[in-house]
Amino acid sequence: MNTLQDEAPELRIAWPINIGKAAALSGISPKMLRHYEASGLLGGVVRTDSNYRQYTLADVHTLRFIRRARDMGFGLDAIAELVSLWHNRKRSSATVKRITRKHLDELAQRIQALQAMQRTLDSLMHLCPGDGRPDCPILDNFAHAPDEPATAAKSGTKLYKPATTAAPRRNTPRPH
């Protein structure tokens, strides 16, 4: 038979706890815990006479909430607002939904940008002969500003001929 203590081992801990235990229980590093506290995400943490931080069970739950929101990619400003809403029992779920919608839209934009990068790199990979020659369309593409039309991925044209078995070329310096 499972008891409440088996399901929630944090109930067997003598509270309050130090920063190391709070970090371990919340799944974040002590450095990030200090950062979240300094950023105001955690609220006022009680300190001992020796100035050691003392964390409560509620603090650990808040830290877990913060970690989960960070895992979902929310920024610290949005997390601060979400933590405040989470602690406010009179909150409006419409506000939470608005914050989440904004983040979801930002994620969609980042995904589109990543997919564009993937398509560009895939095109460049197909243009690169990958042989012993020094010519490399990937490096040439990186050397041009993004708005220059010389990028093979945007123009769809091949900048290099495939390697042939013709006589080897001499390595002569090219002007940059």
Average pLDDT (146-172) is: 48
What pLDDT, on the 0 to 100 scale, is given for residue 148?
60
Q: What pLDDT band is residue 12 in, cutting at 50, 70 and 90?
A: confident
pLDDT of amino acid 43? 86
Number of Cβ within a 10 Å radius of residue 126: 11
Residue 146 binned pLDDT confidence (cut-offs 50, 70, 90): confident
Average pLDDT in the chain: 85
pLDDT of residue 110: 97
For the chain, list the domains and their CATH numbers: 4-74 (1.10.1660.10), 103-155 (no CATH)
- State the pTM of this model: 0.72
Inform me whether the pLDDT recorded for 119 exceeds 50: yes
Segment 35-85, tens digit of pLDDT: 999 999 998 899 999 999 999 999 999 999 999 999 999 999 999 999 999
